[in-house]
């Protein structure tokens, strides 16, 4: 009786696990939004503000949202027009400057992708993502 | 303990699935656009298998780069249709996963997340895309490596510098790999150049940037 119960529990556990295993196999090439962001790559609004002119603010949101409003002095750099916008950003960058990338909110993924490409493709150091994005900046400033 | 737990659990699963009315053909799609494509479009087909109409309350994409459209607001019993998700590729690279959240008035499964996975083919992988010299540095050449993507064949590439302040020389390393040596004429002035990298027999153009920068900021 007891072995039958254990067997049934194991079968149920295996059934419950199956969808998770299937998803892990399907998304095996590690989509960026699935893994957590290391704390060393994040910066808060207060921290970033202490960097003053030593920081370049990068707006990773689509053009329309940037046109509507953005952090004063921020440069637009999104993946819709990456090839066109990157040289403009690089013209403002110089060694020693910190880069603060933001998108709409905590849940958006654009700043993560832009920061990743700046680090990996352009090989820039000191690239950070703004915790809470544009929404967090608005809360602190308006 | 005569009640078979498995049978009980399965009956709950089946009763729940029988209650759900909108049946999706697929809730995850994988798209493989060509290098020339500007958009990747996924069609998520559904059918109302229930006995009452289903109404769409909202359809929301996970990013501004994706739009989603319903054909109709109400799906009658037995009716079918699709949600079209359009992902604007822009200058994105690699594997992109975007989601569309669909909310209906059916209970208890009123929310469905549709997943659109787009594998963007990468003809050339350029590393790094930015080389720089600090003002006053020795104007030694710096190397940019170009690797041809696994599904492509490129025998030659052409590299053009937008400014005469920088020279770019291409060396073919074989096995789909190229080396571009970039060298400034001098590093006294703050100048920059866009390097245009074009594979032969291809309309697609890739870019890298070379610059003379300010000296590091003193903190």
Compute the mean pLDDT over every residue in chain A, rounded to the nearest whole number: 87
The fourth-level CATH superfamily of domain A39-141 is Rhodanese-like domain (3.40.250.10)
Helix (H) or strand (E) holding B29: strand B28-31
Residue B96 has pLDDT above 90, yes or no: yes
Helix (H) or strand (E) holding A128: strand A127-130
- Which stretches does DSSP call E strand in A26-108? 42-43, 55-59, 75-76, 98-102
Which stretches within chain B are classed as H helix? 5-19
Q: Are B21 and B76 in contact (CB under 8 A)?
A: no
Dist. CA B66–CA B188, nearest whole Å:
45
Q: Is residue B11 part of a domain?
A: no
- Which stretches does DSSP call E strand in B49-191? 54-61, 66-70, 74-75, 80-88, 94-104, 111-120, 124-127, 130-134, 142-148, 157-161, 166-174, 177-184
pLDDT of res. A32 = 45
Q: Which of B28, B127, B134 comes nearest A121 by C-beta?
A: B127
Structural domain boundaries in chain A: 1-31, 39-141
Task: Give B24→chain A minimum CA distance, Å.
Answer: 17
Q: Is residue B173 part of a domain?
A: yes
| CB-based contact A15 B211, cutoff 8 Å | no
Helix, strand or coil, per DSSP, at residue B88: strand
Chain A residues near any Cβ of chain B (below 8 Å): 1, 4-5, 8-9, 11-12, 15, 26-27, 29, 31, 33, 54, 61-62, 64-65, 78-84, 86-87, 90-91, 93-97, 108-110, 113, 117, 121-124
Ordered per-residue pLDDT tens for chain A, 142 residues:
677 888 888 888 788 777 667 666 555 444 444 467 888 899 999 999 999 999 999 999 999 999 999 999 999 999 999 999 999 999 999 999 999 999 998 778 899 999 999 999 999 999 999 999 999 999 998 7
Which domain does B155 fall in, by range? 124-213
Domain boundary among B120, B139, B166: B120
Domain boundary among B83, B100, B120: B120
ipTM above 0.85, yes or no: no
Q: Which residues of A touch B4 (CB under 8 A)?
A: 8
Q: Is residue B5 part of a domain?
A: no
Domain boundary among B76, B99, B120: B120
| CB-based contact B209 A86, cutoff 8 Å | yes
Q: Is residue B85 part of a domain?
A: yes
DSSP state of A94: -
Helix, strand or coil, per DSSP, at residue A126: coil
């Amino acid at each position: 009786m007891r072995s039958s119960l254990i067997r049934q529990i194991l079968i149920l556990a295996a059934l419950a696990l199956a969808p998770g295993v299937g998803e892990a196999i399907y998304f095996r090439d590690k989509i960026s939004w699935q893994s957590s962001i290391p704390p060393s790559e994040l910066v808060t609004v207060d921290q970033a503000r202490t960097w003053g002119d030593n920081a370049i603010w990068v707006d990773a949101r689509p053009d329309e949202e940037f046109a509507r409003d953005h952090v004063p002095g921020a440069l637009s750099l999104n993946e819709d027009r990456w090839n066109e916008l990157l040289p403009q950003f690089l013209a403002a960058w110089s060694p020693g400057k910190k880069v603060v990338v933001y998108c709409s909110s905590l849940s958006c993924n654009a700043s993560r992708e832009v920061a990743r490409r700046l680090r990996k493709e352009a090989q820039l150091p000191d690239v950070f993502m703004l915790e809470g994005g544009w929404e967090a900046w608005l809360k602190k400033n308006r | 303990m005569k009640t078979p737990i498995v049978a009980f659990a399965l009956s709950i699963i089946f009763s729940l699935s029988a209650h759900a009315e909108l049946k999706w053909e697929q809730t995850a799609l994988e798209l493989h656009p060509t290098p020339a494509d500007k958009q990747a479009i996924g069609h998520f087909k559904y059918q109302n298998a229930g006995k009452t109409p289903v109404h769409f309350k909202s359809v929301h994409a996970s990013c501004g780069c994706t739009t989603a459209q319903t054909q109709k607001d109400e799906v009658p019993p037995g009716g079918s249709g699709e949600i079209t998700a359009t992902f604007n590729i822009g200058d994105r690279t690699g594997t992109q996963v975007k989601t569309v959240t669909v909310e209906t008035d059916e209970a208890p499964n009123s929310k469905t997340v549709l997943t659109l996975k787009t594998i963007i083919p990468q003809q050339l992988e350029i590393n790094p895309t930015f080389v720089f010299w600090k003002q006053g540095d020795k104007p030694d050449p710096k190397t940019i490596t170009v690797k041809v993507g696994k599904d492509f064949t490129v025998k030659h590439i052409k590299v053009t510098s937008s400014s005469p302040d920088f020279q770019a020389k291409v060396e073919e390393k074989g096995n789909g790999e190229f080396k571009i040596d970039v060298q400034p004429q001098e590093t006294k002035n703050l100048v920059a150049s866009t390097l245009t990298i074009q594979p032969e027999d291809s309309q697609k153009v890739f870019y890298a940037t070379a610059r003379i920068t300010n000296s590091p900021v003193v903190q």
